[in-house]
Amino acid sequence: MNLTLRQLRAFAAVAEAGSFTAAARTLHLTQSALSVLVRELEREMGVQLLDRHTRQVLLTEAGREFLPSAQRLLAELAGAVAGVTDLRDKKKGVLRLAAPQLMACALMPPVIAAYRARYPDVEVRLADTLPERLLDGLRSGQVELAVGQDVPVDEAVERRALLRDRHWLVCPQAHPLARRRSVRWRELAAWPFIAPTRDFRARIGPELAAELREWIQQPGTQEVSYMTTAIGMAANGLGLTVCPTYSAPLVRAWGLAMVRLTAPDFDRDVCVYTPARRSLSPAAQAFVELLVTQQPKRPNLQ
């Protein structure tokens, strides 16, 4: 049996209107085209659904039995289409994101706020995670998007560079380096240094000259798991640290200075990660588009 939606709509319209003429007007069809659709439906079902009389059309017993089911199918389809349309238009839905702790604190909230102002009916759920666990939720299907530093991926994950960020020296406002427009990495060797993440020394080592690699690996260099910890320690005079541009709101909140680091210019990509070979939902696609426009602002330099 091969029933079509057009046939079901035609039958329901005639049954509800009690007239081919009135139903044809409702469906914007000619009366003859409407009659063809109803006859095709009856032929497919092998039963007469309507008794045609000169002045009116009446349901047969089979028609009375079938009409509620046809109406229910059409209503469920209309509801399903409306639901998908709402998703398309970002009128509803849930968007699940993941980001490392610092990005979740400093980069993502203003973007989420701007997104919710545009699409207030989409619920955004942000999971803050360890950098090394960033892609776990993506692979398990618990999140649709992940935003974080450039990390290796396999064939299950697609990576898109969002922005290229640099590192800045973070120090108290009263520190001798705070008033400088830029500072070379080798000048940091005179003060205690706080490596802001567990993998920081391994990542930055190849970028530094040999003597600086020795300095950053020396026992006096303290290593912490979270950049927020490093910022708090720097604010209390326990050493210098470095941070990316997007952490500027947090650094300012601690009353610290940010100074450009050079020689080398240590840059790193911030990327958006999505499941490979899967289309993004309209809500997620709109979030990525907004994220591209919400680039972190360059800190005010002294």
In a domain? residue 188:
yes
Mean pLDDT across the stretch 95-102? Answer: 90
Average predicted confidence (pLDDT) for the chain: 85
Same-domain check for residues 263 and 273? no
Q: Are residues 255 and 278 in the same domain?
A: no
CA-closest candidate to residue 199, choices 163, 225, 219: 225
Look at residue 211 in the predicted model and tell me its pLDDT. 61
DSSP 177-224: TTT-SEEEGGGGGGS-BEESSTTHHHHHGGGS-HHHHHHHHSTTSEE-
The residue segments making up the domain with residue 55 are 5-88
Inform me whether the pLDDT recorded for 92 exceeds 80.
Answer: no
CA distance 134 to 69: 48
pLDDT of the residue at 266: 78
- Mark whether 185 and 118 lie in a shared domain: no
CATH value at residue 116: 3.40.190.10
Distance, in Å, from the CA atom of 289 to the CA atom of 293, rounded to the nearest integer, reads 7
Q: Do 51 and 118 share a structural domain?
A: no
Give the C-alpha separation, 234 to 149, whole Å. Answer: 23
Q: How many CA atoms lie within 13 A of 236 on its CB side?
A: 6
Number of structural domains found in the chain: 3
Across the range 90-113, mean pLDDT stands at 85
Helices (H), 46-135: 61-88, 101-106, 108-118
Residues 152 and 276 reside in one and the same domain? yes
155 with 284, same domain: the answer is: yes
Strand-pair partners of 160:
272
58-87 pLDDT per residue, tens: 889 888 888 888 888 887 887 777 666 655
CA nearest to 297, candidates 264, 263, 258, 242: 258
Q: List pLDDT tens digits, range 189-217.
A: 888 999 887 777 777 777 766 666 666 76
302 inside domain? no
Residue 91 tokens, joined = 């009128």
- What is the longest distance spanned by two Cα atoms in the chain? 103
Q: CA-to-CA distance for 10 and 24, rounded, in angstroms?
A: 8
48 located within any domain:
yes
Q: How far is CA 45 from CA 2, 3, 7, 23, 70, in A?
A: 9, 8, 11, 21, 13
Give the pTM: 0.64
The mean per-residue pLDDT over the stretch 127-155 comes to 87
- Are residues 155 and 112 located together in one domain of the fold? yes
Residues 6+ apart with CB under 8 A from 285: none
More confident residue, 210 or 91: 210
- Whether residues 206 and 255 share a domain: the answer is yes
* Domain co-membership, 252 together with 171: yes
Residue 300 in any domain: the answer is no
Distance CA 159, CA 276 (A): 9
Q: Is residue 21 part of a domain?
A: yes
* Tens digit of each residue's pLDDT (9 = 90 or more) over 223-266: 888 888 999 999 999 999 999 988 898 999 999 999 999 988 87
Shared domain for 82 and 22, answered yes or no, is yes
Is residue 262 domain-shared with residue 170, that is, in the same domain? yes
Instruction: Give the CATH number of the domain where residue 84 resides.
Output: 1.10.10.10
- Of 88, 112, 129, the residue that ends a domain is 88
Q: How far apart are CA 71 and CA 294, in angstroms?
A: 47
What are the backbone dihedrals phi and psi of residue 160, each rounded to the nearest 5 degrees, phi first? -130, 125
Q: Is residue 299 part of a domain?
A: no
Q: Are residues 230 and 246 in the same domain?
A: yes
